Amino acid sequence: MAEVQGTCDDRFSGVREALERQLDGDELGASVAVDLDGETVVDLWGGYRDEERTTPWTRDTIVNVWSTTKCVLNLAALMLVDRGELDVDAPVGDYWPEFCANGKKDVLVRHLMSHTSGVSGWEQPFSVKDMYDWPTATERLAAQRPWWEPGTASGYHAANQGFLVGEVIRRITNETFRRFVRVEIAGPLGADFQVGAKEWDRDRIAPLVAPPRGEVTGEIDPDSIAVRTFTAPTMSVKATTSPEWQAADLGALNGHSNARGVLDVMRVLSLGGTAGGVTLLSPETIELVFRQQSDGLDLVLEAPFRFGIGYCLGSPVVPYVPAGRTFYWGGWGGSLVVMDLDRRLTISYMMNRMAPGILGSDRAEAYVRSVYAAL
């Protein structure tokens, strides 16, 4: 049986057992953390940082968490709402006037936060390297036409939500999203979470291992919203190891952390806005998350999702997250964070070997089910 490090309340011994089993199976290196009512009851890690299995995953190992970063992005936006500086029902143009161009004057802030803006990617050509230039990347988004009528359906803003919401944050605060996270979120909470990775932290990053390639069946429509979104830009696992990626401000994609770091940030939502004596939000602002913005087939993910403001409220893609006052999101390859307000519960899972699929995995399911089985 694989060796697992860290702490775990006896009540949650099933989580440790689940991690041991997965590390003997498809998992390479991973961490799992759980907060219940303000107490960290699970903080576990194990496995290896590299495919050769020469470097153990340690307490301080971090990894690029892909779209789990969006959970922190939307928390930042909600913080500005709580301060009275941002209105989710206001047009984006109230904060970012240039965005009104080409039929976008009626796009609202909540449309950006719920993937319903009609702007789910950049017009071709657009590469990963183009994302490293914030002014040009945001200017191009501001100049585009929506690809569908804003507010009528979701289309996952896979790579560009960090620029859309992040530019609104920048216009209000006059600071980058990356700095906002460091100064306003991770710093006060004492959380090991950063957008990108500081140069002196790069030696503790576990490189991602790309998921197996799936077979393409049927014809691909190059004009579909899904193809247009996922090819502008086409994501590269290899790019995540570059200094340019790690230095960039990619609020949808390049958060670096582990399960504990993500937990230390996101539990503030499950706990009513205050964690560890630090208040970031009011309960009233958190309630905005539950304002449903879409419910149906996502035009990009091509599966059913129900989105609130900033987070997913439910999907058959992850049936193991219970219904109720829960919301969640995760990253490409399987990382996942679940906020359960009914139980004042937060579950966080981060790993380096990516599983197929855009949200969740069999491994994520094993950990989430083991947590709920203990309650």
The pairs formed by 305-314 with CB atoms below 8 angstroms and a separation of 24 or more are: 305/154, 305/156, 307/114, 307/115, 307/116, 307/154, 308/114, 309/74, 309/78, 309/88, 309/110, 309/113, 309/114, 310/74, 310/75, 310/77, 310/78, 310/113, 310/114, 311/71, 311/74, 311/339, 312/359, 313/289
pTM: 0.98
Residue 219: pLDDT over 80: no
Per-residue pLDDT tens digits for 355-370: 998 899 999 999 999 9
The pLDDT of residue 218: 64
The pLDDT of residue 217: 56
Q: What is the mean pLDDT of residues 156-173?
A: 98
pLDDT band at 222 (very low <50, low <70, confident <90, very high): confident
Residue 21: pLDDT over 90: yes
The pLDDT of residue 221: 86
Instruction: Calculate the alpha carbon distances from 79 to 131, 137, 257, 272, 319 in Å.
Output: 25, 24, 21, 13, 29
pLDDT band at 212 (very low <50, low <70, confident <90, very high): confident
Mean of the per-residue pLDDT values of the chain: 97
Residue 249: pLDDT over 60: yes
In angstroms, how far is CA 227 from the centroid of its own chain?
21
Per-residue pLDDT tens digits for 34-58: 999 999 999 999 999 999 999 999 9
pLDDT band at 93 (very low <50, low <70, confident <90, very high): very high
Q: What is the mean pLDDT of residues 163-184?
A: 98
Structural domain boundaries in the chain = 4-216+224-374
Query: End-to-end alpha-carbon separation of the chain, Å?
Result: 25
CA-based Rg of the chain, rounded to a whole angstrom?
Answer: 19
Q: What is the mean pLDDT of residues 269-296?
A: 98
The pLDDT of residue 216: 52
The pLDDT of residue 214: 65
CATH 3.40.710.10 fits 4-216+224-374, yes or no: yes
Q: What is the mean pLDDT of residues 1-18?
A: 96
pLDDT band at 215 (very low <50, low <70, confident <90, very high): low
Q: What is the mean pLDDT of residues 20-30?
A: 98
Per-residue pLDDT tens digits for 130-155: 999 999 999 999 999 999 999 999 99
